[in-house]
Amino acid sequence: MLIQSQSTKRKNCSKAWRSACTFLRPRLKCIDGELCLITGAGGALGRLFALEFAKEGAQLVLWDCNTAANEQTAKLARELGVQVHTYTVDLSKRHSIYETATKVRAEVGEVSMLVNNAGVVAGRRLLDCPDELLERTLLVNCHALFWMTKAFLPQMKAKNHGHIVTVASALGLFSTACDYCASKFGAVGFHESLTHELRAEDLDGIKTTLVCPYIVDTGMFAGCEISLIPPLEPLYTVQQSMKAILAEQQMICIPRLMYIPFLTRAEHTLNSDKIITSLVNPPRTVKSNQLCKD
């Protein structure tokens, strides 16, 4: 009787745990028919993102500087039965982004989901890296986020509907590789500021998700010495990111261990942020001649 009683208790506990997990599991939104633009779609992560969004029924707009790789991604996505539109774009050039964005609006429609995924890395020490490579890393990984968002956010704001995803990096939460980390620091800061702006304007229909994975095994960091944690599998990284996106989660660090540098950073800045916010309520616009005044 005692054994049966213990067995029954274990079964009841197991049922209760499953019920709790089901109750606590976030509801995933439907994106069937949404128009999703993905940058860097010809690369490893971009291609996987495209296929995952296609499985959810989203129409795709794929941007990449490599036409052949982008078309290969499009071919794979079309096999899943979705409409796909491809554009060759140099994200390091502002005019290329704005001109192509105009084409997308005219030829395809209004983008409702923007996945800023494209990224590059020089992979050299500061004094060994040519200025041109440093500049390109910052332009693609950081500056392009501003230009992409300025190009597509107005249509989202008009309908109070949309979702902006920033694929940054856990390296944007702590410093190692100089050029890449600086650009990802900028990406994280940009995304956080954008989220605060949307919140301040009560645009609750526009969601944001910040994706901060550890180094992913895409070949981008080939030759780098990596200790402790092995590089992440690309498919696992994208699948975890998709869960966060569909759950409208504001941020995800992959693996969970990467939340540690974020929490450490947050702990250092929390008190100062509270003080600054309580003392300063920035105006909606600042005249340029005010920037030089004390």
pLDDT in tens, 36-69: 999 999 999 999 999 999 999 999 999 999 999 9
Q: What is the pLDDT of residue 224?
A: 56
Identify the bridge partners of residue 60 per DSSP, sorted by sequence position: 36, 84
CB of 231 within 8 A of CB of 214? yes
Q: Name the pLDDT band for 287 (thresholds 50, 70, 90).
A: very low
Q: What is the pLDDT of residue 233?
A: 93
pLDDT in tens, 206-233: 999 999 998 887 766 555 555 567 788 9
Beta strand segments in 89-241, E: 113-116, 162-167, 206-213
**Which amino acid is residue 68, in one-letter code?**
A
> Can you say whether residue 133 is alpha, beta or left, with left for phi > 0 and alpha for psi between -120 and 50 degrees?
alpha
Q: Name the pLDDT band for 94 (thresholds 50, 70, 90).
A: very high
Percent of the chain at pLDDT > 90 equals 61
**Global pTM?**
0.81
Q: How far apart are CA 182 and CA 173, in angstroms?
A: 10
Identify the bridge partners of residue 57 per DSSP, sorted by sequence position: none
Q: How far apart are CA 72 and CA 50, in angstroms?
A: 11
Q: Sheet containing 251-254: which strands, arranged edge to edge?
A: 84-88, 59-64, 35-39, 113-116, 162-167, 206-213, 251-254
The answer to whether the bond into 255 is cis (omega within 30° of 0) is yes
Q: Name the pLDDT band for 20 (thresholds 50, 70, 90).
A: very low
Element housing 181 (H / E): helix 178-200
Domains of the chain: residue spans and CATH: 28-280 (3.40.50.720)
- What are the residue numbers of the active site? 180
Q: What is the pLDDT of residue 138?
A: 95
Q: Which of 4-8, 95-99, 101-105, 147-151 shows the lowest mean pLDDT across its residues?
A: 4-8
CB of 80 within 8 A of CB of 55? yes
Q: How far apart are CA 227 and CA 173, in angstroms?
A: 18
Q: What is the pLDDT of residue 226?
A: 57
Burial class (CB in 10 A: 0-12, 13-18, 19+), 132: exposed
Q: How far apart are CA 213 and CA 122, in angstroms?
A: 19
Q: Which of 70-74, 133-137, 216-220 shows the lowest mean pLDDT across its residues?
A: 216-220
Beta strand segments in 161-265, E: 162-167, 206-213, 251-254
Q: pLDDT averaged over the chain?
A: 84
pLDDT at 290 over 60: no
